Amino acid sequence: MLASLDVPYLAAQPLEFQTLNDWGGSDRGLLPVENTLMIAIPELDGAIVPMVFGGRAGEADVQCTGCHKACVFEASINRHDMHTCVERTAMLAARVSKLIALRKSETAHRKVALVMFNFPPNAGRVGTAAHLSVFESVFNTLKSLKAEGYTVDVPNSVDEFRDQILAGNAKQFGTDANVHAQISTEDHIKREPWLKEIETQWGPAPGKFLTNGSSLFVLGKQFGNVFVALQPGFGYEGDPMRLLHEKGFAPTHAFSAFYRYLREDFAASAVLHFGTHGALEFMPGKQSGMSGSCWPDRLINDLPNLYIYASNNPSEGAIAKRRAGATLISYLTPPVSQAGLYQGLSELKESVEHWRKAVPEENIQKNTHVWDANAQELLDSLQAQAVTLEFLSAEPALKTLDVDTVNKAVMHLSEQILELEYTLIPYGLHILGSPISTEQSLDMLMSYASVQEGEIQDFSREMMNALIHSQSLDQFAKNQKLVLTPSLREELNQVLSMHRDMQSDSEMQGILKALEGRYIRPAPGGDVLRNPQVLPTGRNVHGFDPFRIPSKFAMKDGLYQANKILERYQADGNPLPESIAMVLWGTDNLKTEGGPIAQIFALMGALPRFDSFGRLAGAQLLTLEELGRPRIDVMVSISGIFRDLMPLQIKILAEAAYLAAAADEPIEQNFIRKHALAYQKANGCDLETAALRVFGNAESAYGANVNMMIDNGLWQDENELAETYTRRKSFAYGRSGTPVLQSDLLNCILADVELTYQNLDSIELGVTTIDTYFDTLGGVSRAVRRAKGGVAAPVYIGDQTKGDAVVRSLNEQVSLETRSRMLNPKWYEGMLKHGYEGVRQLESHLTNTVGWSATTGQVEPWVYQHLTQTFILDPEMRERLMSLNPASSAKVASRLLEASDRNYWKPEPSVLETLRRVANDFEDRLEGVYEGVHI
């Protein structure tokens, strides 16, 4: 029905469960049940711009202080009737009229602000967006807009376009990109309605960012009626003192001026935020149910907000929808394919196979523990190869070891190579408006098939190719001599429809449609491999109905995964852990119907309770008999995004911990109770406090900021990272759902933690791909180490990217990712073909790796050695990087040096010398000191 009406569906509602003043005065905004009913469920139908426009006055309230208007309720009103909020109603009307104006506007006159990101700000990172080749995508968008009748001056090529943005007059102003406009300080002061608030945080206008002291800069360039603009940063990225702050800050002068420029000076008909993700939606304000005092709402104001967003990120996408009124238009993540083997790896594989053939198992059994000359030679060469590739150490020589030990070592080697070869990796970046090739589609379909259970799992690439080119399924089955059972038919139809969808132009169509103020259909968010329903992209991504998380399926899987973690920890030579720290994100829970939440229930020995409508209502304990082992204590570290998206689940996890702490059970069978009672005794608090286990940010704050500390490198001691994490994440969320600062309790709980872990749910996102895994899991691990007086706890990753789980130590995970991605020519060539943006990907993978060294100390030194060899010591490669993206290349060199300075690896003196020279040379060339001088 909505699609046939083809108009935007706005979810504007009055408050039902609290008064206007309660809402207005709270940092949270909507209550969990309101959040579910008024926002999450309408989103399933494609609702946008969720807004509160009224509510009840309530007995005690005479004045609503929810916004700057501060409405006073007359004494005569009926306090139980609904009243509108003057400010919100006016904003709702303004937003609707802007959408109508957009719809009615003539294409040739429509003005589009296309906003790219630069995060954390650096000249090498302009156009940052997850999985997306941004410049190529924006360039394609300009061409499509032009073809559609927009007034656009399209540059001649993507290189020319990139140059106009990146270079232009940037050198002259010392900025990361071209300065398009200057806003005088005087003008800013006159027009900035929230000047006082900004000045409190950032000092007198124009502040320190994007300014020459007399005016503020707006970066970007206008191409006819399309203004390609660069969003300013938060402003605190490089400031260790501000990063310690538990709350977020108001935007900088430059940030607020930027959005005002788009709205009022450029007079955009709509803004199109380009790629996952920016800073606007993470500005301070309520979690949901924004008021006129919330920064995202103030900044976007009534401007229609469209947002190109990765289809696999429903959680952060939801924040953009709920806090900044965005309509998401999803884009496909890059094709996924097997990592394959390269260089030394394929030779090592051959050697292992050769060994197996030359010295077959039967012969080994008969062997009298002495290797003959031939076997000795083979073992020597095999070991030498494995040593070069860092799989084995040189001592002891294999040939001196007994049969069993050698057998085990070769078997393990063979398994590692196999794992590497078949590990799935993303290939390159997605380009909007360039439908993927048949080969890329085949990569994706083969990867999809490999994680399925039916017959299709065994399809060869040739069969898959035949399938997508066949006239009919019956013909295909006949040619392949397959029996077309109903289930096979369904599977094949699924594959064909995926192929069609991936090659369609639905994303650009989505953009064009949204720019006409039309309806964008909803789509679930997730990974194509696990949920093909995310296709076709170009739709408005949503999550699950929160009342149904965790689902029955998730509970079953959660138990399985939790047991795997316990098994792995015990297989590493440890007893059953008493206490675990686990990181919970919104994304993986939204994609798995609450899998990670279910793991916590399983560890604690608890279950969710549902009411007669099947809605999540509370927690209950399994009996110890049913559980069959002690209840494990779990410290839950939640992301800010999880807090915003899963308020019901937070309360229920807190309830489970409380019920366990309060259960009349022997403490050796209930570690939650054991630790809670001990804390209570030592600190004289109530059980409610001692049983708090869910910790996160203060309301309206996001992230541990450990990632920004690593990026700016301005820290001396790793304990500073622990401190930053702890300051940001010490807020305990109990059964009431309201956070309370509990730093001592948190430290005490962390001191008991024996292992930390997080799930990995998406092939596209490894632990070295984004800076948020080490931010949270690394952050909590470092905080555990500090709380334990310097003793590190092991860190594990529950890799569920292929459905079934593999639990790896962090060290194993980083090694696997380094070998299958960063050191793999297939991966880095896939990136480097995108030029500037490919180098940035390399740089951020390296920075994230340093983040893991800093937070856990569990990265092998060879990782840095091999990266240096591949990207710095090879003169051709380093010049190539430098020519594509000088700022990111300089960062690669200086980051490797930093890793050596911090003792994460110890380069040979000659390597260190070269690295230093290259780093200096790159810096000089960046600054233009010795332009053209090579070493």
Q: Could you tell me the smallest distance in angstroms from the CB atom of residue 702 to ligand BEZ?
A: 8
Q: Which of 730, 749, 752 is nearest to 741 (CA)?
A: 730
Nearer residue to ligand BEZ within complex by CB, 55 or 248: 248
Nearer residue to ligand BEZ within complex by CB, 142 or 590: 590
How many of the other CB atoms lie within 10 Å of CB of 707? 27
Residues in contact with ligand BEZ, shown as a per-residue x/- string from 87 to 126 under the rule CB under 6 A: ----------------------------------------
Among 301, 772, 800, 841, the residue binding ligand BEZ under the rule CB under 6 A is 772
Q: Judging by beta carbons within 10 Å of its beta carbon (0-12, 13-18, 19+), is residue 880 exposed, middle or buried?
A: middle
Q: Which residues pair with 659 in a beta bridge?
A: none
Asked if 832 and 839 count as a contact pair (C-beta separation under 8 A), the reply is: yes
Nearer residue to ligand BEZ within complex by CB, 176 or 281: 281
Among 586, 594, 696, 798, the residue binding ligand BEZ under the rule CB under 6 A is 586
How many of the other CB atoms lie within 10 Å of CB of 655? 19
| Region of residue 220 (left: phi > 0; alpha: psi -120 to 50; beta: else) | left
The rounded Cα 700 to chain-centroid distance in angstroms is 18
Nearer residue to ligand BEZ within complex by CB, 586 or 835: 586
* 3-class SS of residue 349: helix
Q: Which of 855, 738, 840 is nearest to 792 (CA)?
A: 855
Nearer residue to ligand BEZ within complex by CB, 152 or 780: 780
Q: Could you tell me the smallest distance in angstroms from the CB atom of residue 725 to ligand BEZ?
A: 14
Q: Could you tell me the smallest distance in angstroms from the CB atom of residue 316 to ligand BEZ?
A: 5
Asked if 665 and 673 count as a contact pair (C-beta separation under 8 A), the reply is: yes
- What percent of the chain is helix, strand and coil (3-state, nearest 5)? 50, 15, 35
Q: Could you say which residues in the range 286-345 bind ligand BEZ, by CB under 6 A?
A: 315-316
Residue for token pair 């470092």: 782
Nearer residue to ligand BEZ within complex by CB, 316 or 843: 316
How many of the other CB atoms lie within 10 Å of CB of 435? 17
- Applying CB under 6 A, the span of 41-49, 476-484, 606-614, 637-645 interacting with ligand BEZ comes to 637-645
Residues in Cβ contact with 625 at an 8 Å cutoff, skipping those fewer than 6 apart:
none
Q: Could you tell me the smallest distance in angstroms from the CB atom of residue 644 to ligand BEZ?
A: 9
- Applying CB under 6 A, the span of 73-81, 128-136, 582-590, 597-605 interacting with ligand BEZ comes to 582-590
Q: Could you tell me the smallest distance in angstroms from the CB atom of residue 504 to ligand BEZ?
A: 28
Nearer residue to ligand BEZ within complex by CB, 236 or 266: 236
Nearer residue to ligand BEZ within complex by CB, 416 or 724: 724
- Applying CB under 6 A, the span of 51-59, 208-216, 219-227, 585-593 interacting with ligand BEZ comes to 585-593
* Beta-sheet strands, E only, within 144-214: 179-184
Q: Could you say which residues in the range 487-546 bind ligand BEZ, by CB under 6 A?
A: none
- Applying CB under 6 A, the span of 1-9, 583-591, 851-859, 905-913 interacting with ligand BEZ comes to 583-591
Q: Could you tell me the smallest distance in angstroms from the CB atom of residue 747 to ligand BEZ?
A: 23
Q: Could you tell me the smallest distance in angstroms from the CB atom of residue 320 to ligand BEZ?
A: 12
Nearer residue to ligand BEZ within complex by CB, 587 or 856: 587
**697 near ligand BEZ, rule: CB under 6 A:** no
Q: Could you tell me the smallest distance in angstroms from the CB atom of residue 848 to ligand BEZ?
A: 12
Among 15, 85, 641, 698, the residue binding ligand BEZ under the rule CB under 6 A is 641
CA-to-CA distance for 681 and 404, rounded, in angstroms?
Answer: 52
Among 18, 141, 185, 639, the residue binding ligand BEZ under the rule CB under 6 A is 639
Q: Could you tell me the smallest distance in angstroms from the CB atom of residue 776 to ligand BEZ?
A: 7
Nearer residue to ligand BEZ within complex by CB, 345 or 641: 641
CA-to-CA distance for 840 and 892, rounded, in angstroms?
Answer: 9
- Applying CB under 6 A, the span of 27-35, 553-561, 638-646, 732-740 interacting with ligand BEZ comes to 638-646
Reading across the β-sheet that carries 731-733, which strands appear in turn? 739-741, 731-733, 694-696, 633-638, 579-584, 755-760, 795-802, 804-809
Residues in Cβ contact with 318 at an 8 Å cutoff, skipping those fewer than 6 apart:
40, 43, 542, 543, 586, 590, 641, 644, 645
**600 near ligand BEZ, rule: CB under 6 A:** no
Among 585, 695, 715, 852, the residue binding ligand BEZ under the rule CB under 6 A is 585
**551 near ligand BEZ, rule: CB under 6 A:** no
CA-to-CA distance for 731 and 850, rounded, in angstroms?
Answer: 27
Q: For 871-880, which contacts have Cβ atoms below 8 Å and span 24 or more sequence positions?
A: 871/842, 872/896, 872/914, 872/915, 872/918, 873/911, 873/914, 878/918, 879/934, 880/832
Nearer residue to ligand BEZ within complex by CB, 315 or 848: 315
**642 near ligand BEZ, rule: CB under 6 A:** yes
Nearer residue to ligand BEZ within complex by CB, 309 or 585: 585
Q: Could you tell me the smallest distance in angstroms from the CB atom of residue 768 to ligand BEZ?
A: 14
* 3-class SS of residue 732: strand
Q: Could you tell me the smallest distance in angstroms from the CB atom of residue 282 to ligand BEZ?
A: 11
List the alpha helices (DSSP H) in 339-372: 343-358, 361-366
Q: Could you tell me the smallest distance in angstroms from the CB atom of residue 701 to ligand BEZ?
A: 13
Nearer residue to ligand BEZ within complex by CB, 476 or 585: 585
How many of the other CB atoms lie within 10 Å of CB of 740? 13
CA-to-CA distance for 378 and 380, rounded, in angstroms?
Answer: 5
Nearer residue to ligand BEZ within complex by CB, 515 or 590: 590
Nearer residue to ligand BEZ within complex by CB, 642 or 852: 642
**844 near ligand BEZ, rule: CB under 6 A:** no
Nearer residue to ligand BEZ within complex by CB, 315 or 561: 315
CA-to-CA distance for 400 and 486, rounded, in angstroms?
Answer: 58
Q: How many residues bind ligand BEZ (CB under 6 A)?
A: 9
- Applying CB under 6 A, the span of 265-273, 538-546, 584-592, 778-786 interacting with ligand BEZ comes to 584-592
DSSP 4-51: HHTS--EEEEEEEEEEHHHHHH-SSBS-HHHIIIIIIHHHTTT-EEEE
Nearer residue to ligand BEZ within complex by CB, 323 or 631: 323
- Applying CB under 6 A, the span of 155-163, 447-455, 639-647, 712-720 interacting with ligand BEZ comes to 639-647
Token pair recorded at residue 118: 């630069």
Q: Which of 111, 15, 11, 139 is nearest to 66 (CA)?
A: 15
CA-to-CA distance for 371 and 368, rounded, in angstroms?
Answer: 8
Angle (nearest 5°) at CA 396 between 395 and 399? 125
Q: Could you tell me the smallest distance in angstroms from the CB atom of residue 36 to ligand BEZ?
A: 18
Among 587, 818, 868, 894, the residue binding ligand BEZ under the rule CB under 6 A is 587
Asked if 685 and 697 count as a contact pair (C-beta separation under 8 A), the reply is: no
CA-to-CA distance for 268 and 263, rounded, in angstroms?
Answer: 6
Q: Could you tell me the smallest distance in angstroms from the CB atom of residue 23 to ligand BEZ?
A: 24
Q: Could you tell me the smallest distance in angstroms from the CB atom of residue 280 to ligand BEZ?
A: 16
Give backbone dihedrals phi and psi of 253, rounded to 5 degrees, phi first: -55, -45
Element of type H or E holding 797: strand 795-802
* Beta-sheet strands, E only, within 74-150: 82-84, 112-116
Binding positions for ligand BEZ, rule: CB under 6 A: 315-316, 585-587, 639, 641-642, 772
